[in-house]
Amino acid sequence: MQLPLFRTILSRDKSDTLLLICACSFVLLPHAEHMKWWVSLACGAMLVWRGWLTLNGRRLPRSWVLMPIAIIMMGGVFLTHKTFFGREAGVTMLALLLTCKLLEMHAKRDLFVVIFLGFFLLLTSFFYQQTIGAAAISLLALVLLLTAQLSFHYTGVVPPLRQRLKLGASILGLAIPVTIIAFLLFPRIQGPLWGLPGDAQSARSGLSSSMAPGNISELVLSEDIAFRVKFTQPIPEKSLQYWRGIVLNAFDGRTWSQDDPRPRTLRKHAVYSGKSIHQEIILEPNGQNWLFALDLPANLPQIEGASPNSVLINTQMELRSARPASQRQRYEIDSYPAYTLEAGANKDTVSDSLILPSGYNPRTMAFAARLRAQYPDDQQLIMAILNHFRNDSFSYTLEPKRLGQHSADEFLFDTKAGFCEHYSSAFVLLMRAANIPARVVTGYQGGSLNTVDDYFEVRQSDAHAWSEVWLEGKGWIRVDPTAAVAPERVMQSLNYVVKRTGFASLVNFGPGGISVLNNLRMQWDAVNNTWNQWVLNYNQTKQKNFLNSLGFLDIDWANMTLLFFIAASAILGLIALPMMRNQPRISALDKVYFSFCRKMEKKAAPRAKHEGPQDYLQRLRLALPSSEFENAERFLLLYAASRYGKNSGPENLVIRRLKTLLAQCR
């Protein structure tokens, strides 16, 4: 609400411009998270500059001042993104253009360019996030933009800010019913209506197709949910909660990567035993192709809404989707905790898991040779290395020291402190140096049950790396060297092992944190999950099921479009009906009076809106000839007596007499 002080200090132009600047600030707010720091700083500076000019009544800068600024900004965009095309560069330029245009509003046309740029930029924020919070900020920004647009349309007396905000919110509210109908009934096609640029999947959090020291320890700082799981049976114990993802078999001396990233058809080389565990998994968008399942997956899942055979599994038991996960993917899969993998193979078949680059980690190679001479048996050697990790002052930390060229040497013999990627990498190197085939597997370990909606949540902070070794007659066996150093990481949670720093150390949302905060987080996660399920994941299949529940079986897109327009028209009619009924009703007496005023407007002088019958009569006395004025005078005196008097006679007789006098006013 506008305070009297501001009404006396700020002129209407100033207050309307400041309202527009405020609206633009809320439009830019959702983009601050993903834009580069210098872009956010530049946009903020331009908004502050425009606000200062408005408050102090200064002139806007001339074009020769703005042109170099615009050129520098465009140069910054190109240096940052190496292009002017694509999602990131395009949204950045739109944000900068919006703030620059605020400094170049010389005509009313420029004003509406700013407003419509704001509408468009608000739409682009959904490229990055579609959460409830993002929707709420967008609705608030939309109300402010509509209020600013209305404010510049007023002539004469301007209503208070609270009344204009209420009107802007009312306009938005009128559109919500039609929006809901369009959301439910507008035909949905498989995939998006348009193609996104090549960089549309950038800035996604999740596991990478390679692993170097520090990769996973940076990822686990994020509490974002990687995927949710619904179990149809009791949740497996913590030691079985290994979510298999990516197998890394190639090593260049520092970085582990996939040796054959191409998906291949499944080869029957896994033997399962015991009971299976059925999982219904909802994978969050990560821009990658791999899917996750409990170790070891036993079947090919079918992604909901995707084409058949859209998932492949390779000989390393990696699940791959044909398309990157640009939106949430739901699939069901069975896994067997008890299995043997490639037990019938020979060492030549898995010899690619023995390859080591030359010239790296000489101390590690020598250490492995000594252990191999001391422990000829493979299983004894494995236990010796795990005991070495357990007993030789190794520690588990999120902030290990940076390692140089011989990263395994420095970790094993100097720092002796690291995260799961350090232990799994060093263990696999020792295995290979001892002539035991081994590889690194990355995925997630553990998770937590949300007791509000009964979904099992696996977060990025649960990211983990472990090892697999191949033993003759037993096949590939999972070995987690991290468990030798920090068994609490596997049996409980990362929060029990690693001390957080900064804000995370003050507010701990982990299992050992404050129960009230944990409960609030679970409530919020459950709300977000419901939003994801029923709003963001309302796809073609769910729309078809919804229409089937209404009795529309096997409806095609043409009939669906017709149904949408019928429903939308009905909603618009229901919205318009109260407005039509709330229109001020004009009495029969006033209708005759307004007909008289329209006739006098054409003949002599129009009636002013504030003018009553008596004042209008005085002006007509000067404008009409005396012969015509007599009829006008009798009409207005009779109307005034009937409209405002107490004893003017029956209304029907008065109306009949007024119509007669009106006919005589020719």
- Span 560-585, pLDDT tens digits: 788 888 887 888 878 777 766 666 67
Q: What pLDDT shows up at residue 491?
A: 57
| Residue of 137, 138, 149 lying closest to 20 (CA atoms) | 149
pLDDT: is 508 or 663 the higher one? 663
b/e per residue, 303-329, with b = 16+ CB within 10 A?
Answer: bbbbeeebbbbbebbbbbbeebbbbbb
Q: How confident is the model at residue 490 (pLDDT cuts 50, 70, 90)?
A: low
Q: How confident is the model at residue 385 (pLDDT cuts 50, 70, 90)?
A: very high
H/E segment holding residue 43: helix 37-55
Q: Find the angle CA(657)-CA(585)-CA(567) to the nearest 5 degrees.
A: 140
Q: How far is CA 212 from CA 334, 339, 375, 621, in A?
A: 31, 29, 29, 96
- 228-272 pLDDT tens trace: 999 988 999 988 999 999 999 999 888 898 876 455 444 557 889
- 119-134 pLDDT tens trace: 888 888 888 777 788 8
Structure tokens at 522: 């679970």
Q: What is the mean pLDDT of residues 644-661?
A: 78
Greatest CA separation for the chain: 132
Q: What pLDDT shows up at residue 380?
A: 92
| CB-CB neighbours of 654 under 10 Å | 19
**Per-residue H/E/C for 509-525:** CCCCCCHHHHHHHHHHH
Structure tokens at 384: 């010796």
Helix count and strand count (H, E) for the chain = 23, 20
Structure tokens at 600: 């006098």
> Distance from CA of residue 111 to its chain's centroid?
29
Structure tokens at 125: 């924020």
Q: Are 52 and 40 in contact (CB under 8 A)?
A: no
b/e per residue, 379-416, with b = 16+ CB within 10 A?
Answer: eebbebbbebbeeeebebbbebeebeebbbbbbbeebb
Which stretch, 172-181, 458-467, 555-564, has highest mean pLDDT?
Answer: 458-467
Name the packing angle between helices 651-664 and 626-644 (round to 10°): 160
Q: How many whole angstroms separate alpha carbon 538 and alpha carbon 41?
A: 37
* End-to-end CA, the chain: 52
H/E segment holding residue 576: helix 557-581
Phi, psi of 210 (to 5 degrees): -140, 165
Least confident of 48-57, 241-250, 374-383: 48-57
Helix or strand or coil: residue 575? helix
- 209-230 pLDDT tens trace: 888 876 676 676 778 888 999 9
- 310-333 pLDDT tens trace: 888 888 888 988 888 777 888 999
Question: Does residue 347 register a pLDDT over 70?
Answer: yes
Q: How many alpha carbons fall within 13 Å on the CB side of residue 34? A: 21
pLDDT: is 531 or 350 the higher one? 350
| Residue of 298, 340, 376, 383 lying closest to 473 (CA atoms) | 340
Q: What is the mean pLDDT of residues 526-537?
A: 74
Q: How many whole angstroms separate alpha carbon 193 and alpha carbon 424?
A: 44
Q: How many whole angstroms separate alpha carbon 292 and alpha carbon 281?
A: 8
Phi, psi of 323 (to 5 degrees): -125, 150
Question: Does residue 192 register a pLDDT over 70?
Answer: no
Q: How many whole angstroms separate alpha carbon 591 and alpha carbon 651?
A: 13
Q: How many alpha carbons fall within 13 Å on the CB side of residue 502? A: 2
Which long-range CB contacts under 8 A does 633-640 form with residues at least 24 apart? 634/661, 635/596, 635/661, 635/662, 635/665, 636/596, 639/589, 639/592, 639/593, 639/596, 639/613, 640/612, 640/613, 640/614
Per DSSP, helices labelled H in 497-554 are 503-506, 515-531, 540-549
Q: What is the mean pLDDT of residues 360-380?
A: 91
Q: How confident is the model at residue 186 (pLDDT cuts 50, 70, 90)?
A: confident
Q: Which residue has the tokens 């408050």?
A: 55
| Contacts of residue 224, Cβ cutoff 8 Å, sequence gap at least 6 | 205, 284, 459, 460
Q: What pLDDT shows up at residue 505?
A: 45
- 415-474 pLDDT tens trace: 888 888 889 999 999 999 999 999 999 999 988 888 888 889 898 888 899 999 999 989
Question: Does residue 386 register a pLDDT over 50?
Answer: yes
- 596-628 pLDDT tens trace: 888 888 877 788 877 888 888 888 888 888 778
| Residue of 403, 447, 436, 448 lying closest to 421 (CA atoms) | 403
Q: What pLDDT shows up at residue 195?
A: 47
* Average pLDDT of the residues of the chain: 81
Question: Does residue 206 register a pLDDT over 70?
Answer: no
- 498-530 pLDDT tens trace: 554 444 444 455 544 556 776 787 777 777 777
| CB-CB neighbours of 157 under 10 Å | 5
Least confident of 1-10, 405-414, 507-516: 1-10
